[in-house]
Chains A and B, each alone.
Chain A
């Protein structure tokens, strides 16, 4: 809160690319598998919401990859 930056978290992700690689899985498809709203998937993709560790693992599991393929911490540029 209070920061002007559009992103509100320092966590970056590759969900959009991973969805594209998985037969063009839509945001709604992913939301339905995870049991969350489509808006939550959108917020995670846009870096506006950092999911819980549990959901992060579930997302990695959906794509069959390790957690650090999906999420990584942004460099210091996000800090200031």
Chain B
């Protein structure tokens, strides 16, 4: 497995763990608490930081395990990256319409914030899944 494929897998795994936990926690709270009483801001920022740290640690570990591969970014990596970005961008673009509509109808700020984060996460997940599939099945 090439360095960039390892990064794609670790980013995908980190996202599912971190944001799975975040959305589970916040949406569970929303089920039995008025949303304007939920202090989601601190948790959201904390989870984003945790996610970034996980991705960086995974990249460092992958580079230490196989330093030679970490130096190589070739044309296939760049093509796969472009395809991932293209799919991720499309998903993000579509997903961001949800918070836009929520803002238009004066929804609670809580829901707008969750919808923005969800659009960002879904866009990134789509990007990483596309890359992993391209690495596995071919471009």
Interface residues, chain A, CB within 8 Å of chain B?
Answer: 7-9, 31, 34-40, 43, 46-52, 55
Provide the residues of chain B in CB contact with A8, threshold 8 Å.
137-139
Give Cα distance in the complex from A45 to B69, angstroms. Answer: 19
**Residues of A contacting B: mostly:** loop
Residues of B69-85 whose CB lies within 8 A of A: 69, 72, 74-77
Q: B2, B4, B69, B74: which contacts A35 (Cβ < 8 A)?
A: B74
Provide the residues of chain A in CB contact with B135, threshold 8 Å.
39
Count chain A CB atoms within 10 A of each CB in B2, B76, B77 and give the residue with the most: B76
A37 & B74 in contact (Cβ 8 Å cutoff) = yes
A36 & B75 in contact (Cβ 8 Å cutoff) = yes
Size of interface on B: residues with Cβ below 8 Å to A? 15
* Interface: B3 (CB within 8 A): yes
Q: B4, B75, B77, B138: which contacts A52 (Cβ < 8 A)?
A: B75
Residues of B1-52 whose CB lies within 8 A of A: 1-5
Provide the residues of chain B in CB contact with A36, threshold 8 Å.
72, 74-76
Residues of B92-139 whose CB lies within 8 A of A: 135, 137-139
Count chain A CB atoms within 10 A of each CB in B5, B75, B137, B138 and give the residue with the most: B138
Q: A9, A31, A37, A55: which contacts B138 (Cβ < 8 A)?
A: A9
A37 & B139 in contact (Cβ 8 Å cutoff) = no
Give Cα distance in the complex from A34 to B75, angstroms. Answer: 11
A40 touching B2 in the complex, CB below 8 Å, given contacts A49-B76, A55-B75: yes
B5 & A39 in contact (Cβ 8 Å cutoff) = yes
CB-nearest residue of chain B to A28: B68
Give Cα distance in the complex from A45 to B100, angstroms. Answer: 47
